[in-house]
Amino acid sequence: MLRFVPRRLAIGAYSMFMIEQKNNPKLKGLSVADRGKMTSKLYKALSANDKAALDKRAAAYTSFRRAKTKSNAKGEKKKGAARTPSVYAKFVKENIGRFEKLPRLDRMKAVAKLWKQHTSRPSK
């Protein structure tokens, strides 16, 4: 059985640097390609101490975030607003029993044909 290891989801120092530079105002107006080049230059210009600090922050940061959801009791379903059945649905429910002997698909075809006859008749 495999175990879940959060460490494997940790990111590298450069990725952490990219996350931190996401809202840098100097990079806002640049295109994606130019922004990548600029962040690369900025990262290469960092001192060894800054890179070590980035490494520590990256090791502490995991990209895995658990979604906080409300858990329902087992077997409990959400209660949605009950929709009123359409006129066709009511018609099918009333008339499907007439065609019990037919296979399911043919039964629905027969009810549909009956519906067409019912709707094509002029109502008084």
**Percentage, residues of the chain above pLDDT 90:** 46
- Cα 105 from Cα 98, distance rounded (Å): 14
Tokens of 62: 């995991």
Q: Look at residue 10 and give its three-state secondary structure.
A: strand
pTM (predicted TM-score): 0.46
Interval 37-94: pLDDT, tens = 999 999 999 999 999 999 998 888 876 666 676 666 666 677 778 889 999 999 999 9
Domain-wise residue ranges, the chain? 7-60, 87-120
Tokens of 95: 């008339």
| Contact call for residues 27 and 39 (beta carbons, < 8 A) | yes
Phi, psi of 10 (to 5 degrees): -70, 160
pLDDT at 60: 85
